Amino acid sequence: MSDDLKLTQTRIRAGIWEGVLTGAGAVPPKLDVLHLEKPLAGVAVTPVPGREGDYAVRVPIPSDLLSEGVQTFLIRSGGETLAHFTVITGVPMEDDLRAEIDLLRAELDMLKRAFRRHCLETAG
């Protein structure tokens, strides 16, 4: 396999992950897409018109694999992971992250006040 092989995501639309594989040469490598170490069917690799060695990659995301939480899909060739994509469903994680950041800020403010108080007490 070429070290120049690169797979770049372009979008996810209508339940299909799309990307561009570059550096593959005249014959594209066989791509395997795995979810929980099980292969997915229907992966399509087609030449990009006018760009020799570049291929459009389309991976249908089966709806039966989507459930509450985070689902990660690996795109591999010859045992090497070229790319991955993640689908998050259910409760938005953004709210959890904001709450966690707010908590960290509050703790940092508390530590700053305690440190300043300690410095004032030991200086005098």
What confidence tens digit (pLDDT) does each residue in 9-23 have?
999 999 999 999 998
Own/partner pairs, 77-85, CB within 8 angstroms, 24+ separation: 77/1, 77/5, 77/29, 77/30, 77/31, 77/32, 78/1, 78/29, 78/30, 80/1, 82/5, 82/6, 82/7, 82/21, 82/31, 83/7, 83/8, 83/9, 83/19, 85/9, 85/12, 85/17
Residue 94: per-residue pLDDT: 62
Whether residue 82 is found in the same domain as residue 70: yes
The pLDDT of residue 114 is above 80:
yes
Let me know whether 84 and 41 are in one domain: yes
36 and 70, same domain (yes or no): yes
Structural domain includes residue 1:
no
Same domain, 55 and 69: yes
Same domain, 23 and 34: yes
Domain interval for residue 96:
91-124
Same domain, 84 and 95: no
State the pTM of this model. Answer: 0.70
Give the total number of structural domains in the chain: 2
